[in-house]
């Protein structure tokens, strides 16, 4: 009698569905982003990202302990300096905010992996990811001089205790430059998680509130990728692999699952997906209005990233997801 094949047989019981589930999300897949600011006792909520805070170093340490206790293996640190300048001094200074936070976390929670976002936009007075030509109001970053700043930043972060360096500025040759600098400084064993395919995306809006990194003029389209391109992503990851990247990242994630899949198929390196601020804020806003079931939508979204090929997921939902997974 037709049909002989009845796929619904394997969906008939919760335990049976668990047994045949193809993609399993665990806390091991999660990385939690944190925003460090100067001062003490500061926990300032980001208006466009409910539940996400700018935190002073003491509060970062408290958060890191909670993250570790939840079974999340890693955090990634972003910094908002007290002062900004054209040389992005706060990014590479030994007393920079990310450096202070990294040291404090490693002293308090030594087994938690600390990833340092290695970029300059939060630290420059103009909000772009490197040096600009004097008088240039287009935002066209000078590539090769900026590499020197990224080298100084990466070495400083590694000295402060960062376990992984994650360059995100999309400068040509940044992986090779950073790898060379780390090796020469004695950090041969410090891995690089490259933002290999980072798109010029409107989904970053709330992050720029959190990191206070909105460009003062122009945009980032001369260095971040065009959203319509997928073959270019493969070109970018191939270059980063050749330059010494240990892991690759696709950013954003939600509208770029096809890119996650293509990157996973094209390489044998671990692939990270960044579930960015705009993706987070859309879900939070809908949930706060009672329009969606937040837990189900979050878990379905994160599972989708993993199904697409992500080995690691950077997400502001990480703590909630870890609790729900328990």
Name the binding residues. Answer: 119, 121, 129, 208, 220, 236, 277, 316
Packed helices 174-184 and 143-160: angle between N→C axes, nearest 10 degrees: 40
Paired residues of 273 in beta bridges: 250, 313
Paired residues of 250 in beta bridges: 197, 273
Q: Are 86 and 72 within 8 A, CB to CB?
A: no
The one catalytic residue in 59, 84, 106, 251 is 251
Active site annotation includes 100? no
Q: Are 54 and 35 within 8 A, CB to CB?
A: yes
Active site annotation includes 198? yes
- Residue with token string 């579930």: 275
What secondary structure letter does DSSP report for 226? P
Burial class from Cβ neighbours inside 10 Å (0-12, 13-18, 19+) for residue 135 reads exposed
DSSP, collapsed to helix, strand or coil, labels residue 62 as helix
Pull the structure tokens for residue 109.
Answer: 């929670």
Q: Are 189 and 100 within 8 A, CB to CB?
A: no
The one catalytic residue in 198, 284, 306, 319 is 198
Residues of the binding site for 5-aminolevulinate:
208, 220, 277, 316
Residues of the binding site for Mg(2+):
236
Residue 119's CB is within 10 A of a number of other CB atoms, namely: 28
Task: HSE, CB side, 13 Å, CA atoms: give it for residue 46.
Answer: 26
Catalytic residue positions? Answer: 198, 251
């Amino acid at each position: 009698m037709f049909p002989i094949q009845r796929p619904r047989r394997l969906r008939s019981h919760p335990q049976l569905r668990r047994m045949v589930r193809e993609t399993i999300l665990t806390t091991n897949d999660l990385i939690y982003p944190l925003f460090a600011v100067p001062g003490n006792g500061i926990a300032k909520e980001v208006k466009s990202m409910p539940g996400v805070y700018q935190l002073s170093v003491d509060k970062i340490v408290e958060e890191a302990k909670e993250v570790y206790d939840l079974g999340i293996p890693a955090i990634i640190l972003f910094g908002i300096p007290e002062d900004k300048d054209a040389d992005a001094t706060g990014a590479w200074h030994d007393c920079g905010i990310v450096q202070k936070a990294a040291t404090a976390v490693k002293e308090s929670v030594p087994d938690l992996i600390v990833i340092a976002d290695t970029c300059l936009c939060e630290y420059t007075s103009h909000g772009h990811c490197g040096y600009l030509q004097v008088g240039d109001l287009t935002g066209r970053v000078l590539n090769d001089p900026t590499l020197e700043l990224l080298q100084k930043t990466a070495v400083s972060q590694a000295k402060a205790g960062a376990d992984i360096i994650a360059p995100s500025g999309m400068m040509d040759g940044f992986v090779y430059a950073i790898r060379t600098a780390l090796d020469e400084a004695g950090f041969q064993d410090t891995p690089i998680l490259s933002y290999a395919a980072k798109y010029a995306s409107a989904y970053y809006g709330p992050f720029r509130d959190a990191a206070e990194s909105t460009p003062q003029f122009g945009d980032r389209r001369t260095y971040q990728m065009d959203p319509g391109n997928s073959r270019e992503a493969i070109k970018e990851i191939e270059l980063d692999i050749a330059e010494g990247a240990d892991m690759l990242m696709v950013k954003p994630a939600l509208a770029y699952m096809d890119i996650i899949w293509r990157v996973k198929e094209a390489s044998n390196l671990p692939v990270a997906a960044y579930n960015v601020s705009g993706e987070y804020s859309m879900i939070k806003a809908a949930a706060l209005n009672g329009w969606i079931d937040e837990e189900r939508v979050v878990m379905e979204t994160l599972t989708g990233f993993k199904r697409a090929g992500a080995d690691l997921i950077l997400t502001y939902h990480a703590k909630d997801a870890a609790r729900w997974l328990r």
